[in-house]
C-alpha cells in the first residue's frame, strides 16, 4: 500500500495555520479588523499603550488599568549596561539596524538579579525597550551618546524624544501612534508565523521575538518602505514618473510599496496612513513631496495593471509608511526598526495565543532528491 503524497503549496499560500482573535484580514474586501475594531476607528483614536493592552487582554483598559499598565511598561524603560555595550560594538562595525535590533533584543534574556524570570516580564521588557534600542543605536551610529529615557512621556513620544532630544508636538505623537497602531498586527504574516513556530516548541518569548525580527528584515516583508521612498526621491518631479516606472517594469524590477500576498484591492492600511501623512504634512512638512507621492502611486498602479494585467497589484502599507515616517523626520534606516517597535506587540500577543493552543507547528515536505544511492568509501570517490 502506498501512502498518498500530500500536496505541496508554495509559499503556504491560502493555507490556514492558526486561529486568532487578534486581527482579521480580508484581502478581497480590503478590510482589516484589529481585535474587533475596524482599523480606521482604532488606529486614529487609541494610544499605543491602549492598543497593546487591547491585544494582550482582549479589552480596552479603563482609566486605572491604563495608568497601571503604562507604569508597568515604563518601569522597563531603561537599557542595561550589557545591552548598551553590545550596541556600541555593533555601531563600531556599522552593523545593519535590524541586525543590531535583533542582537540587542536577545540581551533581554540576561536578567538582572532583581528582575523576575518570567515571560510576562520579558514581554513588557521587549515592548518597552525596542524604542530605546533603536534610538540608542541611531545615536551611537551618529557618534552621539544615547539619551536617558523619559518615563513621563508616552511610549510613542518617548521614542521621538530619544531620537531627537526634543519633546515632540501633539501632531507628531499622534501621527506616530496612528502608524504604530496601523501595523501592530496583520494575520499570519511571515514574521508573526515565525514567532508562532518558535514559541510552539515551548521555546521562550525572547527567542520568538528575535526570530521574528529576522523575518521582518527582508525586503519582501518589512524592508520595503526605504526603497519605496527612494523611488519617489529618484523620480523627483511628476513629469519623470511615467518614464521612470516604465523603465523599471521593462527591466523586470518590482516596485516597492506595491502588491500584497493577501490584498487584491488597496491595502486599508495605506488609506489610514495616507490620511495621517496628509494631516502631518499640512501641519508643517514638504507638501510638494506629499503631492508627488500621490501622483507616483496613481501612475504606478496604472502601469502595474498594464505590465501585470489581472494580478491586481495595488498600493500596500509600506508606501505610505515611508511618507509618514519621513514626515516625522525619521531617516530611511529607521523605517524597518520602527515597524518592529510596533509589530513586537502583535508577535507577543500571537505567542501568548499559540502557547494557549499548545500544539507544535510542524508541517511536512515533499522529498525531491535522489533515491537508492549506495555508500562509496572515500578512497573510491
Residues that bind ligand ACO (CB under 6 A): 11, 220-222, 224, 254-261, 304, 308, 311, 313, 316-318
Joined together, the cell numbers standing for residue 74 give 515604563
What is the sign of the dihedral through the CA atoms of 194, 187, 228 and 255? positive
The DSSP line for 79-115 is --HHHHHHHHHHHHTT--HHHHHHHHHHGGGS--TTS
Residue 258 C-beta: closest distance to ligand ACO, Å = 4
Joined together, the cell numbers standing for residue 142 give 551618529
Beta carbon nearer to ligand ACO, 61 or 223: 223
Do 225 and 318 contact (CB within 8 A), yes or no?
A: yes
Beta carbon nearer to ligand ACO, 32 or 124: 32
Beta carbon nearer to ligand ACO, 162 or 256: 256
Residue 262 C-beta: closest distance to ligand ACO, Å = 8
52-89: burial string, b at 16+ Cβ within 10 Å, e else: bbbbbeeebbeeeeeeebbeebbebbebbeebbebbee
Beta carbon nearer to ligand ACO, 221 or 326: 221
Residue 259 C-beta: closest distance to ligand ACO, Å = 2
Residue 276 C-beta: closest distance to ligand ACO, Å = 16
Which alpha helices (DSSP H) does the chain contain, by range? 39-45, 48-57, 63-74, 81-92, 97-106, 119-141, 155-164, 170-182, 190-200, 205-216, 225-235, 241-250, 268-282, 287-307, 317-327, 335-357
The yes-or-no answer on residue 260 being catalytic is: yes
193-210: burial string, b at 16+ Cβ within 10 Å, e else: bbbbbbbbeeeebbbbbb
Given the residues 155, 221, 260, 350, the one annotated as active site? 260
The yes-or-no answer on residue 326 being catalytic is: no
Beta carbon nearer to ligand ACO, 95 or 216: 216
Residue 249 C-beta: closest distance to ligand ACO, Å = 6
For residue 144, the Cα-to-chain-centroid distance in whole angstroms is: 26
Query: Can you tell me which residue has the cell 514567532?
Result: 195
Residue 263 C-beta: closest distance to ligand ACO, Å = 9
Residue of 227, 263, 234, 235 lying closest to 336 (CA atoms): 227
Given the residues 49, 278, 297, 318, the one annotated as active site? 318
Joined together, the cell numbers standing for residue 348 give 507577543
Beta carbon nearer to ligand ACO, 220 or 247: 220
Residue nearest to ligand ACO (CB): 259
What's the rounded Cα separation, in Å, for the pair 341 and 142? 20
Do 168 and 327 contact (CB within 8 A), yes or no?
A: no
Q: Which residues are catalytic?
A: 260, 318
Amino acid at each position: 500500500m502506498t501512502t498518498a503524497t500530500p500536496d505541496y503549496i508554495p509559499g503556504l499560500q491560502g493555507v490556514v495555520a492558526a486561529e486568532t482573535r487578534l486581527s482579521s484580514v480580508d484581502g478581497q474586501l480590503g478590510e482589516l479588523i484589529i481585535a474587533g475594531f475596524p482599523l480606521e476607528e482604532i488606529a486614529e483614536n487609541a494610544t499605543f499603550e491602549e492598543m497593546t493592552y487591547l491585544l494582550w487582554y482582549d479589552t480596552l483598559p479603563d482609566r486605572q488599568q491604563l495608568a497601571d499598565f503604562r507604569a508597568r511598561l515604563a518601569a522597563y524603560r531603561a537599557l542595561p549596561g550589557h545591552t548598551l555595550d553590545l550596541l556600541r560594538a555593533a555601531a563600531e562595525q556599522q552593523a545593519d539596524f535590524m541586525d543590531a535590533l535583533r542582537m540587542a533584543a536577545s540581551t533581554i534574556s540576561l536578567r538582572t538579579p532583581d528582575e523576575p524570570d518570567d515571560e510576562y516580564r520579558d514581554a513588557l521588557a521587549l515592548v518597552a525597550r525596542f524604542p530605546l534600542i533603536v534610538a540608542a543605536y541611531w545615536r551611537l551610529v551618529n557618534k552621539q551618546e544615547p539619551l536617558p529615557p523619559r518615563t513621563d512621556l508616552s511610549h510613542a513620544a518617548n521614542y521621538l524624544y530619544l531620537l531627537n532630544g526634543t519633546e515632540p508636538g501633539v501632531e507628531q505623537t499622534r501621527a506616530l501612534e496612528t502608524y504604530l497602531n496601523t501595523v501592530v498586527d496583520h494575520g499570519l504574516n511571515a514574521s508573526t508565523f515565525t514567532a508562532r513556530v518558535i514559541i510552539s516548541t515551548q521555546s521562550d518569548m525572547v527567542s520568538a521575538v528575535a526570530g521574528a525580527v529576522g523575518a521582518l528584515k527582508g525586503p519582501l516583508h518589512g524592508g520595503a518602505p526605504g526603497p519605496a521612498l527612494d523611488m519617489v526621491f529618484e523620480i523627483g518631479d511628476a513629469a519623470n514618473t511615467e518614464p521612470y516606472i516604465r523603465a523599471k517594469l521593462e527591466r523586470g524590477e518590482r516596485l516597492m510599496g506595491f502588491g500584497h500576498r493577501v490584498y487584491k484591492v488597496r491595502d486599508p492600511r495605506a488609506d489610514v496612513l495616507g490620511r495621517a501623512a496628509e494631516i502631518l504634512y499640512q501641519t508643517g512638512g514638504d507638501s510638494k513631496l506629499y503631492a508627488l507621492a500621490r501622483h507616483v502611486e496613481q501612475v504606478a498602479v496604472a502601469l502595474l495593471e498594464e505590465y501585470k494585467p489581472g494580478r491586481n497589484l495595488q498600493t500596500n502599507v509600506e508606501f505610505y509608511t515611508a511618507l509618514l515616517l519621513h514626515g516625522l523626520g525619521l531617516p530611511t534606516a529607521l523605517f524597518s526598526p520602527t515597524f518592529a517597535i510596533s509589530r513586537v506587540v502583535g508577535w507577543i500577543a500571537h505567542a501568548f495565543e499559540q502557547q494557549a493552543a499548545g500544539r507544535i507547528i510542524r508541517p511536512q515536505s515533499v522529498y525531491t532528491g535522489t533515491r537508492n544511492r549506495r555508500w562509496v568509501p572515500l578512497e573510491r570517490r
